[in-house]
Structure 1
């Protein structure tokens, strides 16, 4: 894309042969790919030795997904500029993904773009949310037909100008995992950055082990996350409210509705309910008392 450089950051944790194949495909389409490994030791990475546009950094899960992403972003910020895709190791790129999204961000003169997401487990398209100070608008991803702005986009598959991080800052490492991307998106909105969805590009993704279920005519998509992830999600949601609830009162209502939805999903459809409900309530407590960072509580997974 002309003189523009397009980089990538992928976070790995105990990657498999299949993950390494995904990584090779990513690297083949990018100027440079930074792998940040959150495992205790770098294992299997020798299969990438022949690729000269890959660098590997070891994070050993310090400050979770947020710490890993920041390690890669800081490394890139030392370069002159350009754009960066953020991925996780399960990201499987459709044909032409990097080229299409790269062209889309340049043609539209944007600083951040995202694809449409398709959840391979629930076999449903992801939806998007436009948040203003007092209102919430939901956008159905399945029926999206023209470029549309959203307030939130998941990390994997999203493309950013490096200028965004220079002005907005890095990921909040006190979140560790869950809502790391949501909090960053709110900060972007606070700094007047927008996220534009490209409806022509569909990105296959999986969030937990989602299933599409129905109860009394209401559709649920339980994630089947383990209790620790349930803890982080509700605790960090409260952190978000503490940080941004005054600027965006609608965020309080949005997160309340999502937590009720997740609570009902656990109660109605998921296994290990007792431990997950315990994690949810302890997450609420630790969110209120601002107990940040890596979870120190033990749950039966």
Structure 2
């Protein structure tokens, strides 16, 4: 990575796929916190006016992709642009995350306060639908976490130089687990900054009501179920059954209980899950975090 400039500067990357108008509000909240915002358009040909509106915002650049290149390649495209523009830090977001004032400053402060050995830094998470802060996200100060989700993750240039960018072979799902685990393998500590909170939507957040109780299901598409199934196995083969796996197993059990009981298109999702298991077992192990799967 090259580029000179203020070593405290931050560039933001926002991955966009057929966004609605709420993305404009999210960018307006984020832009004052960073030096520049790079929006990766993973939906070329989108006929909505959202991207037209985004192009009029100062210090916002839209990076058009040739098609849906996936989460990993999309984030990588934006992060390269951030670092080539001279920023020291890249902070990445999904389109459905809202960054409250002070979030980016808090992430940088957490990274700098930890000192040598700091890896990726992420905020505490709060549901953008219910406003509920998840139990695992409650705390104060800075804590060490094995894995962080992509949205809200801060990467210092020196960390990326050490660990590389996201594994584009994974395409979507577990991309954040992979780069987090790779940072740990390279001797870095990933940090959760509990004092800054990101509002984030998980999946489609489709409401359901059973026995008078309201709750939400993610209702991920069969395609997403395929990649979650495949990439979970890829990571097991790559990193083994560490703490990340047991935490993910709990999530997997709850998620599939909802799929089987409350979500639509269950036969298609089950079939996609099975295909993912098959392809995860067949995945070429030579394409790992030392090889062609990571663009540095």
Both proteins in one fold, TM over 0.5? yes
Give the corresponding residue for 2:288. none
- Of residues 3, 11, 16, the one that matches 1:12 is 16
Give the corresponding residue for 1:264. 257
Q: CA deviation at 1:234?
A: 0.8
CA deviations over 1:233-273 (Å, ceiling 9, x no partner): 1111011112222xx55555555554444333322332322
CA deviations over 1:38-64 (Å, ceiling 9, x no partner): 012365333244444222211244431
Counterparts of 1:24-103 in structure 2, within 5 Å, are 24-41=28-45, 44=49, 45-103=51-109
Aligned residue for 1:16, secondary structure, equals coil
| 2:171 equivalent to 1:195 | no
The whole-number CA distance in structure 2 between the counterparts of 1:69 and 1:157 is 12
Give the corresponding residue for 1:141. 137
* Alpha-carbon spacing, 1:27–1:249, altered in 2? closer, same or farther (3 Å): closer
Deviates more, 1:249-258 or 1:25-34: 249-258
Structure 1: unaligned runs, 5 residues or longer: 128-139, 293-301
| 2:159 equivalent to 1:164 | yes
Give the corresponding residue for 1:135. none
Q: How many residues align?
A: 273
* Alpha-carbon spacing, 1:268–1:42, altered in 2? closer, same or farther (3 Å): closer
Q: Is 2:13–2:40's contact at 8 Å kept on the other side of the alignment?
A: yes
The whole-number CA distance in structure 2 between the counterparts of 1:16 and 1:210 is 15
The whole-number CA distance in structure 1 between the counterparts of 2:281 and 2:251 is 17
Q: Is 1:122–1:221's contact at 8 Å kept on the other side of the alignment?
A: no
The whole-number CA distance in structure 1 between the counterparts of 2:267 and 2:247 is 25
Q: Is 2:55–2:61's contact at 8 Å kept on the other side of the alignment?
A: no
The whole-number CA distance in structure 1 between the counterparts of 2:235 and 2:209 is 29
* Alpha-carbon spacing, 1:126–1:163, altered in 2? closer, same or farther (3 Å): farther
| 2:227 equivalent to 1:223 | no
TM-score by length of 1: 0.79
For the aligned residue pairs, the C-alpha RMSD in angstroms reads: 2.9
Q: CA deviation at 1:125?
A: 3.0
The whole-number CA distance in structure 1 between the counterparts of 2:96 and 2:244 is 29
* Alpha-carbon spacing, 1:231–1:49, altered in 2? closer, same or farther (3 Å): closer
Give the corresponding residue for 1:130. none
The whole-number CA distance in structure 1 between the counterparts of 2:123 and 2:81 is 25
The whole-number CA distance in structure 2 between the counterparts of 1:28 and 1:255 is 35
Aligned residue for 2:106, secondary structure, equals helix
CA deviations over 1:129-165 (Å, ceiling 9, x no partner): xxxxxxxxxxx223x2342110111111121112221
CA deviations over 1:106-141 (Å, ceiling 9, x no partner): 3333443211101233654346xxxxxxxxxxxx22
CA deviations over 1:187-229 (Å, ceiling 9, x no partner): 01111121221222221111113479999xxxx9742212211
